[in-house]
């Protein structure tokens, strides 16, 4: 089970001061837009402008079944939910709801699009950044897609879900992180599983100027 991101980030926000906080990919079709906007505003009241929100369509059918959502219509639902969510975040209200958010949170956080395929170009044109998954794709595939993203005018690029298990190979991890840095990724998100290396060991693999974060 993966913890609810808004609960986990609220805890992280109270335990840190200068660390950027964010999600990898929130599956937008699983949420009601007003409820999601309210969660985001609530979290921003705790962590301020440190929040970055990764959003996506979702690709795990069992998640949709569990939340009683239509998996086949996930792309249509994503587009309609995202459109209303953006309005609520920017305006604080729409024709159906008024969340009366504090002025300090109106506008919402930066939105990064977690996507693949044709969505890479969409991330460059419609979002504040792109989240690529290194869990489901090879390093070669991720780097090739980054070229398309930059060609389409994309700015911030994050590669996520670099999983390190108990039988991790730090030498191979260092090589992969170096490749992503050389390719031009701004951020790399490493998921350390139980029995994996310490955060200090992972940080030591990357020089300060290799990646922005």
What does the pLDDT look like over 179-208, one tens digit per residue?
999 999 999 999 999 999 999 999 888 876
What six digits make up the tokens of 89? Answer: 């975040």
Mean pLDDT of the chain: 93
Q: Does any domain span residue 151? A: no
Who's near 125: CB < 8 A, 6+ residues apart? 152, 153
Q: Which domain holds residue 58?
A: 1-114
Would you say residue 107 lies in a domain? yes
pLDDT at 42 over 90: yes
164 bridge partner residues: 192
DSSP 161: E
CATH number of the domain enclosing 88: 3.20.20.30
Mean pLDDT value of segment 67-84: 97
Residue 112: per-residue pLDDT: 98
93-99 own/partner pairs: CB under 8 Å, 24+ apart = 96/34, 97/34, 99/34, 99/37, 99/38, 99/41
Does the residue 65 lie in any domain? Answer: yes
17 pLDDT more than 60 = yes
Q: Residue 100: inside a domain, yes or no? A: yes
Q: Do 162 and 188 meet the contact criterion of CB atoms below 8 Å apart?
A: yes
Tokens 């991101």 belong to residue: 5
Calculate mean pLDDT across residues 111-136: 96
- What pTM, to 2 d.p., does this model score? 0.91
How many CB atoms sit inside 10 A of residue 96's CB? 9
Task: Please report whether residue 10 resides in a domain.
Answer: yes
In a domain, 70, yes or no: yes
DSSP letter for each residue of 68-133:
T--GGGHHHHHHHHHHHHHHHHHHSB-SS-B----TTTTT--EEEEE--TTHHHHHHHHSSEEEEE
Number of domains in the chain: 1
Is 120 inside a domain boundary? no
CB 106 within 8 A of CB 38: no
- Residue 144's nearest CA partner among 156, 132, 161, 162 is 132
Question: What's residue 127's pLDDT?
Answer: 98
209 falls within a domain: no
141 contacts: CB under 8 Å, gap ≥ 6: none
């Amino acid at each position: 089970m993966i913890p609810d991101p808004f609960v986990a980030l609220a805890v992280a926000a109270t335990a840190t001061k200068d660390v950027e906080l964010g999600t990898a990919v929130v599956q937008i079709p699983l949420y009601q837009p007003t409820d999601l906007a309210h969660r985001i505003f609530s979290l921003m009241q705790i962590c301020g402008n440190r929040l970055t929100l990764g959003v996506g369509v979702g690709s795990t059918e069992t998640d949709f079944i569990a939340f009683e959502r239509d998996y086949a219509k996930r792309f249509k639902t994503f587009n309609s939910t995202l459109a209303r969510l953006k309005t609520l975040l920017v305006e604080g209200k729409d024709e159906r709801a008024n969340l009366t958010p504090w002025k300090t949170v109106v506008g919402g956080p930066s939105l990064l699009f977690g996507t693949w395929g044709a969505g890479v170009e969409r991330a460059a044109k419609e979002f504040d950044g792109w989240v690529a998954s290194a869990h489901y794709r090879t390093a070669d595939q991720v780097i090739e897609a980054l070229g398309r993203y930059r060609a389409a005018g994309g700015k911030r690029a994050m590669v996520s879900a670099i999983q390190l298990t108990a039988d991790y190979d730090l030498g191979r991890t260092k090589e992969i992180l170096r490749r992503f840095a050389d390719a031009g990724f701004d951020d790399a998100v490493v998921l350390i599983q139980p029995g994996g290396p310490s955060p200090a060991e992972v940080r030591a693999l990357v020089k300060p100027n290799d990646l922005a974060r």
